[in-house]
Amino acid sequence: MRRWLVPLLVAAALPGPAAAYTNPQIPGLQVALRARGYDPGPIDGVVGPRTAHAVRAFQRRAGIHADGLAGPRTRARLGRLGRPLFGARTLARGRIGWDVSVLQFMLKHRGFAPRHLNGNFGRGTERAVRRFQRAFGLAVDGIAGPATQRALLTGHRRHRRAHVAKRTALRTHLVRSGDTLTALAARYGTSIAALERANHLRPGGFLLIGTRLRIPAGAGHAHGTASAVRGSIDRWAAHYGVNPHLARALAWMESGFQPTIRSPIGAWGVMQVTPATWDYAESILIGMPIPRTADGNVRIGVAYLRHLLREFRGDERLALAGYYQGPASVRKRGLLRETKAFVADVQALKARM
């Protein structure tokens, strides 16, 4: 856990408001108690008598020693909103938990209130994070990583010079006859998907000659790490019994072998893994914590691909569609138009990877 993470302290018995204790973690407790039907008072980050009383009432109902301390056992009984503590993980759309409640409260405290304070990282919270990041000179990606969380706690603004320099250094490419996204992705060390996202292109669409394409930030550095990424993919593909050519093609299509890129919905790394997929693969498919590294990202992605191949009985096309569109959506709606283009591109790349 990060050194700047503030430990959780909850007063067991408080004689009055003057003795109230404030702590950045407390809004998470108050939201979790309210969701369980207990009244902690206003969601204000202060452990007053009403919050302490609600903790003890919940503990008695749950059969826990009513000491008024929100320790690990109490937080576990609070369910999804009782964990993890703020600062323990990166937060992005789709996350649910104690730390999301704290994030929403801190955004409100800094003047960037999301619509809801409910522990659910939805579209409104993502917009609030983006507004905060823009105002505080941070990278505007809607993801509350260590830098954003630290800024929320300290209120320190980052100088905007580096951010402005990054924006002004943005590269473009003038589309000429014969250009394809596949060739441009290889030339600039990025992925087809990243080019499509940066330029709001429809997957599988045509390039218009004379158009200026934006080259995603961070492109051009993939070649230095491609060998290590390829080795990681091959190792985990062998471990999980997945065709390495298929795994490489999927990784290239998703990220161009770039370990650091993030999508607008919070997917990141070589395999563009979303927080929800990471949690599922880590807890259900693998059964152990996986480090948030480039190699860990590859392992999660390959393990999930193996799971999809099994779920769709070895049908490679449906497994790739499930990776891109989501397996439940594929079963319910079939392959969407952009999914078909994605699957066709991966299968075409497979023979060359």
DSSP 219: T
Query: Are 120 and 128 spatial neighbours (Cβ–Cβ below 8 Å)?
Result: no
Q: What are 204's two structure tokens?
A: 């599988």
Structure tokens that stand for 309 in this block:
């191949």
3-state secondary structure of 277: helix
Q: Which residues of 3-27 are buried (b: 16+ CB within 10 A; e: fewer)?
A: eeeeebebbeebeeeeebeebbbbb
Three-state DSSP class for 217?
coil
| H helix intervals, the chain | 26-35, 49-62, 72-77, 98-109, 123-135, 146-154, 161-168, 181-188, 192-199, 222-240, 244-255, 275-280, 294-311, 316-325, 327-333, 337-350
CB 277 within 8 A of CB 300: yes
CA angle centred on 103, ends 82 and 136, rounded to 5°:
165
* Distance separating alpha carbons of residues 272 and 243, to the nearest angstrom: 19
Q: Distance between CA 337 and CA 149 in Å, rounded?
A: 38
**What phi and psi values does residue 46 have, to the nearest 5 degrees?**
-120, 130
- The answer to whether 128 and 110 have CB atoms below 8 angstroms apart is no
Residue 78 is predicted with a pLDDT of 94
Cβ contacts of 192 within 8 Å, gap of 6 or more: 181, 182, 185, 253, 256, 345
Helices (H) and strands (E) in the chain, counts: 16, 4
Set out the domains of the chain in order of their start, with CATH numbers.
1-169 (1.10.101.10), 170-214 (3.10.350.10), 222-350 (1.10.530.10)
- Residue written as tokens 């060359």? 352
Angle (nearest 5°) at CA 8 between 6 and 11? 130
Q: What is the pLDDT of residue 155?
A: 81
Q: How far apart are CA 242 and CA 232, in angstroms?
A: 13
Question: Residue 266 in contact with residue 92, Cβ under 8 Å?
Answer: yes
- The neighbouring-strand residues paired with 212 are 174
pTM of the predicted model over 0.85: no
pLDDT of residue 97: 93
- Per-residue pLDDT tens listing for the chain (353 residues): 333 333 344 433 333 333 333 478 899 999 999 999 999 999 988 878 899 899 999 999 999 998 888 888 999 999 999 999 888 888 988 899 999 999 999 999 889 999 899 999 999 999 999 999 999 888 888 898 888 888 888 887 765 444 444 444 457 888 877 677 766 776 676 777 778 778 888 766 667 777 788 887 655 544 446 678 888 999 999 999 999 999 999 998 888 787 877 776 778 889 999 998 999 999 999 999 898 898 999 999 999 999 999 999 999 999 999 999 999 999 999 999 888 988 988 888 887 77
Q: Is 320 exposed, middle or buried (0-12, 13-18, 19+ CB in 10 A)?
A: buried
d(CA 332, CA 145): 34
